[in-house]
Each structure stands twice: as C-alpha cells, then as structure tokens.
Amino acid sequence: MNTQEVIELFNQYVIGNYGRLPKVIVKGEGNIMSDLEGRQILDLFPGWAVSGIGHCHPKVVQAIQKQAAELIHMDNTFYTLPQGQLAKMLSERSFGGKCFFCNSGAEANEGAMKLARKYTAKGKYKFITTERSFHGRTFAAVTATGQPKYHDGFLPLVPGFEYIPFNDIDALTTAFSDEVAAVLIEPIQGEGGIHPATAEFLHTIRNLCDESGALMILDEVQTGMGRTGQWFAYQHFDVTPDILTLAKALGGGTAIGAMIAKPEIAAALTPGTHASTFGGNPLACAAGIATIQAIEEERLLENARTMGQYIQQKLAELKKNHSIIDSVRGIGLMIGLQLNGPGASIVSKCLDKGLRINCTQETVLRVMPSMTITADLIDRAVSILDQVLTEEGL
C-alpha cells in the first residue's frame, strides 16, 4: 500500500474525528520517525507527549517482549507483580500515596473526581477548574475542560462544575465555598498553550482546600514523568496535591493512566466502588517500570533540565530575526512559542522539511521533545524552523 491508499482506507473505514497530516508513519526510533516512503522525520512532539523517552526505547521494548511472553493480561480479581511494583515506584517518587491504574488521562481524571466526591461526601460536590484547561474527552473530563469549543454539540454536560481564569486568585477565592469537593488543575496548562501556574495560585488552592476539607487534584497527564526536569511538575512549586493524575508518558508508549491519592483519601475507594478492566495490566505496567528505570539509569531528568534550557535559549534567539515570535515560555522540555499570528502553516512547512512540532490554541507552537533529546538534534530542529520562518517572511 502507498500513502494515498492508506488515506483512502481511513476515509472509508475510520471515523474522521481527527485532522490528520497526510503521512503514514511506520517506524519510530528515539527521536526519529519514518514514513511509508522511508523519509525520516525529527520528532519534537513524539506521540503528543506519550513517547516521553522517545519512540521504542530499547529498555521498554525489551520489558514488553519479556512480559508479553509471560502474561499479557490478568484481571484485577488477582494480584500481579508489575502493578504492585509500578505503584511502589510511583508512590516513592511522588508523595507516598496509593495508586489506581486505568488506561488514559481522561479516565485518570474521572477516577480522581469520583474519589473526591466519595471522600468529601456530605454537601460537597462542586469542582472548580480553570478556563483554557484540558482534562480529556469523556463526559466529566470534557466538562472539567474549560474550553467551550470542546463542549459544542454535547450538551447537557455533567452538573457541578465552575470555571475560573487560570492564575486568578481573586476569582478562585470568590468561587470557593463549602460545597467544593475539589479543585482540578494542570500545573502547566498544556493544550491551553503552555501556561505555567504561579506558585502563589497553587499555594492559595492548597490553603483553601485545607481550610474547607476540599481536595487539590493536579492533572499531570502531560507534565508528569519527568518532562519538566522533575518527576512531577508540582515538585517545582513546593506544594503537594491530594490526588495526582498521570497518563501520556507513563508507559513508554503503551496505553496506561494512573491516579495517585494520599492513603487516607484512597481508602474511600473500597471494593466495588470503582474499576477498570484493563487497568494495571501486566504489559502496560511492565512498560511503565522500564520507563522509570530508563529515566533513572540514563539520568534523563537532568537531561530534560539542561536540554530544556538549551532549546529555550535557542528558540528565544530566533526572536531577533522573526517578528512573528512574541515570546518563549515553559519549564524543561515543555515549551510554547507564542506567535503574533497563526502557526498551523508553519507546522506543515516544518513537516515538509522533516521536522515535527505542534500548534495549539492557533498561535502557540508547542515543542515537547523526548527526554532523550540531544543538543545536535535541537540545533537541527531550530535551524529548520529558522529556515521555514525565513522562507515565509515571518
């Protein structure tokens, strides 16, 4: 089959709910992916942050192959080794909580919100979330998502949600009441355009929750697992959530989500109250364990910090010659390039030259390289972007 034939296959048999770029990707290795015609593409947005340690990391591949030959799936009627081991590893690297495993970010957030209602109980039911946030596409997760464009056509949504502007402490204080079960936010808004929270905003959420008995839920589906140079982004802010949600980079490319809750809160989920058939399956958990091991053995948190600084500085230098660039923001390898105009055509021109980046919120170029990125590859990427901006006269 050639590219056109694959596209026709999709047109006929796959629901068209994604705007796809006209390329068929058949292979991924580290920071490079290859299309059906054998063209190589430098991937600075691998798997929408799922391939956080690059495509097909050898340690993850090996762990999956080994686990697949032993036990691919076992239901939660029984105990399994990888699930318990991964839970311990996550707990030790965060705040000593207990884990519930599922298969995606939306599901992790659903679990967190259900736990918050179950735990806080009497009279508490409201969720405060932020404008421009992104929490997933299932009904409660999309309701939590503070962007009307994702609600269009799906009304009525789940009751009990209130939205406040991100980093707006006055609005937060005003919205807060004894009816609030939880505040759910991303420490750095990802899909919303790479906007880091202020420490003051996070600390105010923490204090208000502590005073009223509400829970602080941090959605680290995109920021978690080392991308920002710490295991979890909240570790930059000297604040601890009650519940943390993860997915994307957690499984080295496999489908896995997790919610980590403080033990006394986690205790509210007694047998039968919540579940996921595939949740915590041995294959995905073995991949998760290998991912954490690779990050530690290869010192990738440090690499995320140094390469994050390097690429942010390189991108900021582009500002001198390209007036379309307004500013560069982000933490570690989670970077947004704020433009003064639309970015979609820049993304497709870069792809034509063998570089993959992303555009979100129309005017933000989103660059989220894997934690294995090198200075050489960053130089190559920045020079392609420079060339595209020059050619477009931007």
Ligand X SMILES: *Cc1c(COP(=O)(O)O)cnc(C)c1O
The answer to whether residue 248 is catalytic is yes
Which one is catalytic: 134, 176, 201, 232?
Answer: 134
Contact in structure between 232 and 220 (CB atoms under 8 Å):
yes
CB of 221 to ligand X, least distance (A): 4
Residues that bind ligand X (CB under 6 A): 104-106, 134-136, 186, 190-191, 219, 221-222, 247-248
Looking at the Cβ atoms of 141 and 209, the one nearer to ligand X is 141
- Closest contact distance (angstroms) between CB of 266 and ligand X is 20
Of 43 and 191, nearer to ligand X (C-beta) is 191
Question: Nearest distance from residue 188's CB to ligand X, in Å?
Answer: 9
CA dihedral 97, 103, 107, 111 (to 10 degrees): -30
The smaller minimum CB distance to ligand X, of residues 187 and 229, is found at 187
Name the burial class of residue 80, with classes exposed (0-12), middle (13-18) and buried (19+) by CB atoms within 10 angstroms of its CB: middle
| Secondary structure of the chain as H, E, C letters | CCHHHHHHHHHHHCCCCCCCCCCCEEEEEECEEEECCCCEEEECCHHHHCCCCCECCHHHHHHHHHHHHHCCCCCCCCCCHHHHHHHHHHHHHCCCCEEEEECCHHHHHHHHHHHHHHHHCCCCCEEEEEECCCCCCCHHHHHHCECHHHCCCCCCCCCCEEEECCCCHHHHHHHCCCCEEEEEECCEECCCCCEECCHHHHHHHHHHHHHHCCEEEEECCCCCCCCCCCCCHHHHCCCCCCEEEECHHHHCCCCCEEEEECHHHHCCCCCCCCCCCCCCCHHHHHHHHHHHHHHHHCCHHHHHHHHHHHHHHHHHHHCCCCCCEEEEEEECCEEEEEECCCCHHHHHHHHHCCEECEEECCCEEEECCCCCCCHHHHHHHHHHHHHHHHHCCC
Q: How far is the CB of 247 from ligand X (least distance, A)?
A: 5
In angstroms, what is the minimal distance from the CB of 351 to ligand X?
21
**Shortest distance (Å) from residue 32 CB to ligand X:** 23
Catalytic residue among 219, 237, 242, 262: 219
Residue nearest to ligand X (CB): 105
- Please report how close the Cβ of residue 261 comes to ligand X at its closest, in angstroms: 17
Q: Which of 23, 59, 126, 248 is catalytic?
A: 248
134 is catalytic: yes
Nearer of residues 242 and 324 to ligand X, judged by Cβ: 242
Among 297, 382, 370, CA closest to 28: 370
So which residues are the catalytic ones?
134, 219, 248
